[in-house]
Structure 1
Amino acid sequence: MTDASCVGEVRRFCTRTASDWGWGEVDIGRVALVVTELGTNLVRHAHQGELWVAAQPDAQEVEILSLDNGPGIVDVQRAFQDGVSTGTGSPGTGLGAIRRLASDFHIHSSPRGTLCLARVRAAGGPSVSERRWGAVSIAAPGETVCGDGWAVAIDGARLSAVVADGLGHGPQAALASAAALDVFAAEPFAPVTALVQQSHAGLQGTRGAALFALQADAGTQLQYAGAGNVMGRIISGVFDRSMLTQHGTVGVQVRKPEVVVQDWPDHALAVVHSDGIGSRWKADEVVPLLQRDPVLIAASLLWQQRRGRDDATVLVVKQGGPHD
């Protein structure tokens, strides 16, 4: 976000999307104001700020992430008060207005930078419970499609998820990852080894993909299987365990997959990411956010650790139960 024209471009995209969904003028105005305030804050006050937007037609929801590299907000709660500004030349109503207008709003700030997550849904739409999972995925620089793909299925306390990283990047990589998601969608709660085997068959004729399939319930363990360089970790304040899969490329060459059962302590997160994220990130980057929205956690890790030359995806899963 380098100037006001960038803010206008994102605003037009969001309002056009909401209009296509049939939202009324008031709700279209809400999403326009939220995007404008977030973008204007980046242009005026932040270093190297970006806005990431996800339009989710099934949920009738526009999700906006604002990310920057500092200088951070010293007192976040005070910044919500109208009339308090972090810079000059603004009335200081931005953060307070965003929180009032958004359906959900989350923020985390430190000297390293500020992350804001705002979701806007039409008034009167379905309520949303606390989120158990969240994911962020962005394309490689210069690409218009992302070669990574991810999907999550929920059935009561059961959760099944997959992250696929098509070989390379661009349209052909996206075709490979989309084929893996088609296999998952057909039978998301098949055993994780079966998901890998079925994906291997389904990706024949594509360039292939790295794949990580994960399943969990309300218990203290999860299981996973996969092949290639999509990696996982279980993180809590006192626990840090990597989840690694066999070498190979699904759709090209893999050994018979094996299921791995992993302890999942109370309050720990499962993090799965493609190799667009550096593999040696420190747990300390996630621990301060353990209780936050999973999308905010995923965005924080991607923002700080993306390599910048490939597609990048981070999926975060929290423990949950039948209420999800």
Structure 2
Amino acid sequence: MTIARSPVLVDCEDVAWFRDQPEAARGAAAALGRRIGLDEQRTAQLVLAVAELAGNLTKHAVDGSLLLRVLRPHAESGAEAASGVEVIAVDSGPGMPDIPAALRDGMSTSGTLGIGLGAVQRLADSYDIHSRPGTGTIQLARFWPRPAPSAARGEPAVAGVTRPISGEQTCGDAWAVRTDSGFLPTVRGRAPSAGPRGDGTPPHGPSAGGRPSWSALTNPLSQQSRSTVPRAAGVRSEAPGRPGPDDARTVSTGRTTPVRAASPGGGEGLLVMSCDGLGHGPQAALAAQAAVQAFRTATGRTPEKVMEEVHRALRGTRGAAVAIARLEPDGRLLFCGIGNITAALVTTADRTTLMSHPGIVGHQVRQLRTYEAQLPAAGVLVMHSDGLSERWSAADLAGLLHHPPAVLATGLLRQAGTRRDDASVVIARSPR
């Protein structure tokens, strides 16, 4: 008899982006390592890796950025309570023609005494790299305490990234993921933070004086399940860029049939939400935070019912565009979207966009509808805000589909993101 293993579930918190700031990135990495309890040696290894990655961005990259954030395993995953740090470095060129050579010790194109990417790979508990000449490079490294928790031994089936509009410190976009097996969801409690961190960033959760916290607003609950979802059915692919029949703002490459009586199947389902608070800045972030909290505690099991609870919770806020999907173990994908969140099923050869309807969650919403489709076994569900252009295709992601969801999300943000609005991407992959 095969016993199903609990999926790896993590929260992403304390997000910070750095551009042309290697010293600030090293300082933030040191502060994060100490705050989450990494020992002195592990913190030093984290800082050393960040210094290498940030230094390479400064020397070689075009439009390079480095992302730092804390990973907190959830009790649902059966993981220990230890937290880790994730580092993502992304740039737009020139790329690496020979990745194995770049990972060999002593390899340097600038004559520096850096530790090299091979050492970063050895120091990290998880490491992934994607590079294409003329396109750029994405690297992901995760650092956990010693001994490493069980979360370090698995790859999340869902991950996302958020980035605020240029000039803002808070992001009005958010994403959230949780599993559902018919029991009321619970939110793992945490002790309140005593004050600002050593790097000057406020603690997670609402801060004193009512200012929203960067981490709580930009990176809500992230959970994953072992849901299995195969090939899309009942969806006809059309030319990308056509507006949907019900919403001129929604690009629809396919048609789905509304399923009014859609119900969850047996086993554990995976609920995924993408949210774009109206506008940007702290007020948009507050709307996103309200949506995330409602999503976490919702008692409804279908996207439609969860959307109803999110709609009620957003009254009194600016409102938001929201999309909610449920991936079932029996292969179905249930979807409900309001506003201009793009949701698509993507394979190496095809992109099929799911139907959303006009409205603002928290203000004006038509009668909600749940649509049903199926996700190809080798495909992914992509959901992103309008901080990304819709002018991307399956071919743009084909070389990234076998990489971790966090790398795939970062690649799409690089490909289609704009700096004129908050941006977010969440990727859900069938974990079978």
- TM-score above 0.5: yes
Residues 268-295 of structure 1: CA distance to partner in whole angstroms, max 9, x if unpaired?
Answer: 1100000000012111111111111000
1:39 has 2:62 as partner: no
On the 8 A contact 1:218/1:319 being kept in 2, the answer is: no
Instruction: Number of aligned residue pairs: give it.
Output: 318
Residues 108-162 of structure 1: CA distance to partner in whole angstroms, max 9, x if unpaired?
Answer: 0012101111111111131231221110111111111110111111355321111
Q: 1:145 matched to which residue of 2?
A: 170
Alpha carbons of structure 1 residues 188 and 148: separation in structure 2 relative to 1, 3 Å: farther
Which stretch of the first structure deviates more once superposed, 149-158 or 99-108? 149-158
Secondary structure in 1 aligned to 2:37? coil
CA distance in 2, matches of 1:182, 1:208: 14
Secondary structure in 1 aligned to 2:59? helix
- The amino acid across from 1:66 in the alignment is A
On the 8 A contact 1:84/1:93 being kept in 2, the answer is: no
> 1:123 aligned to 146, 155, 180, which one?
146
On the 8 A contact 1:218/1:320 being kept in 2, the answer is: no
How far apart are 1:189 and its partner, in Å?
Answer: 5.9
How far apart are 1:305 and its partner, in Å?
Answer: 0.8
- The amino acid across from 1:242 in the alignment is T
Q: 1:244 matched to which residue of 2?
A: 355
Matches within 5 A, 1:263-274: 263-274=374-385
- The amino acid across from 1:311 in the alignment is D
Alpha carbons of structure 1 residues 114 and 208: separation in structure 2 relative to 1, 3 Å: same
Q: 1:96 matched to which residue of 2?
A: 118
Matches within 5 A, 1:169-208: 169-187=280-298, 190-208=301-319
How far apart are 1:23 and its partner, in Å?
Answer: 1.8
Q: 1:75 matched to which residue of 2?
A: 98
1:167 has 2:278 as partner: yes
- The amino acid across from 1:130 in the alignment is E
Residues 28-55 of structure 1: CA distance to partner in whole angstroms, max 9, x if unpaired?
Answer: 1111011001001111121221111112
Alpha carbons of structure 1 residues 35 and 92: separation in structure 2 relative to 1, 3 Å: closer
- The amino acid across from 1:100 in the alignment is R
CA distance in 1, matches of 2:307, 2:19: 43
- The amino acid across from 1:20 in the alignment is R
- The amino acid across from 2:160 in the alignment is A
Secondary structure in 1 aligned to 2:150? coil
How far apart are 1:239 and its partner, in Å?
Answer: 3.1
Q: 1:276 matched to which residue of 2?
A: 387
CA distance in 2, matches of 1:105, 1:188: 37
Q: 2:216 matched to which residue of 1?
A: none
**Greater relative CO (CA pairs within 8 A, separation 6+):** 2
- The amino acid across from 2:50 in the alignment is V
Secondary structure in 1 aligned to 2:67? strand
1:227 has 2:328 as partner: no
Unmatched segments (≥5 aa) in structure 1:
none
CA distance in 1, matches of 2:384, 2:299: 19
How far apart are 1:91 and its partner, in Å?
Answer: 4.1
1:84 has 2:107 as partner: yes
- Could you list the structure 1 runs, at least 4 aligned residues long, displaced by more than 4 angstroms after superposition: none
How far apart are 1:237 and its partner, in Å?
Answer: 2.1
Please report the TM-score for the alignment, with normalisation by the length of structure 1. Answer: 0.94
Unmatched segments (≥5 aa) in structure 2:
1-17, 74-81, 181-224, 228-268
Alpha carbons of structure 1 residues 229 and 123: separation in structure 2 relative to 1, 3 Å: same
- The amino acid across from 2:29 in the alignment is C
How far apart are 1:217 and its partner, in Å?
Answer: 2.1
State, as a whole percentage, how many aligned pairs show the same letter: 35
CA distance in 1, matches of 2:300, 2:26: 39
